[in-house]
Structure 1
Amino acid sequence: MNLETMLTYLSLTVLALLPMMNPPAAATVLLGLSKGRDKAYMVTQAKTVGCYLFVALCITFFIGSSVLELFSISIPSLRLGGGIIIMAIGFNMLFPNSDSTSTTPSQDSIALVPLTIPSVCGPGTMALIISLAAELAMQGEELQTLSVYTGVVLGFAVVAAIAALTLSMAYPLLKLLGQNGIQAFTRIMGFLLICMGVQFFTLGITEISQEIHALLS
């Protein structure tokens, strides 16, 4: 195993994924969906997100393209679906219903959906990882496969740890802002999530339109 190659791909993986994932944005989602919860709940959710995220990244990297091919799902369709989910989450944060302000919070875990998917591991992240896996597969004979894949998987682990640490800092932010500040912050982030969802949706529509145009031309 080549240590330099492994460290290179570890660094590239972390640098490529962190801006796409944007863990601080997911932390605001955790704040908005954890009203009335204590610190232990939020820290538990943060740690669980870290585990789910690592598994999701590995699954996407190793079999993501095969799963999409099995169900005949294209990357534009993935963007469309992810955009709709993100918009739905944003609407719920921007226009909370009366049930969400109840003093008795639900016991359901939010670690997998929506925190891991699609907040952190969204369609853009999945598309990036699948593209990386496809490119590495095409260059398999030219690469030191074990070092490269080890570096990528270790990069996934580092990214998952950073995401878990970032989410675990949500509770101190909650104490700093207070309930009124969190409500205002949640509505702002809900609007931004709607904008992000629209961006994914329109990008998917654009890609589908280009594919149709290419077929007709």
Structure 2
Amino acid sequence: MKKTRKLVIVGDSAFAEIALEYFEVDSTYSPVAFAVESEYLKRDSLNGVPVVPFETLSSTHPPSEYDVYVAIVYSQLNRLRTRLALSAKASGYRLASYVSSRSFVWRNVQLGEHVFIFEDNTVQPFSAIGDNVVLWSGNHIGHHSKVLNNAFISSHVVVSGFCTIGENCFLGVNSAIGNNVEVGEDCWIGPGVSITRNVPKDSIVRAPEHEIAKIGARRFFKVK
């Protein structure tokens, strides 16, 4: 794939390392550096790519020549990724996005800026993905649904049709949102949770703990 823009990835965590791989192999971006806030700068390079201070990025990698992607997960209910992305944008950087060539995003889906969509995502017609949203691998975003700004959808999540996922939300692996459901802003939906009614803002929804049954599996299924 022909490279047309140079990219700085903000962060040096596992997500940053993964983002480097995806941008290098499956995008028109050429990643040239990682950037970390000076307080957390612990190394000079990662996977052979230099790690530089975020605070002086505009002098070492000017926004006229480089774009930025902030590879931070859902820390502080996505506030950290949001703050760094807005800071880079205020400094004049264009915020990069990645949409996997192995995802299915219908032609009329509205995509915001600074999104990262992994492989095996299905984003159906008339849906909308806001700014600074991460869709990890294998999710289903149903028709006419909206994922608002700064949300993080982990893996194998189902969002049905006509849903709204509020700003800053986190949806855990294998969670499911039924049709016509609104999840308010700043919600944390745990792994394996099924939602069938609206969730107020600033809510935590967790599945009950799965207890180990007292009867053994071999006995239950009558295995000799």
Q: TM-score if structure 1 supplies the norm length?
A: 0.19
Higher strand residue share: 2
Q: TM-score if structure 2 supplies the norm length?
A: 0.18
Looking at both structures, which has the greater relative contact order when contacts are Cα pairs under 8 Å and sequence separation is at least 6? 1
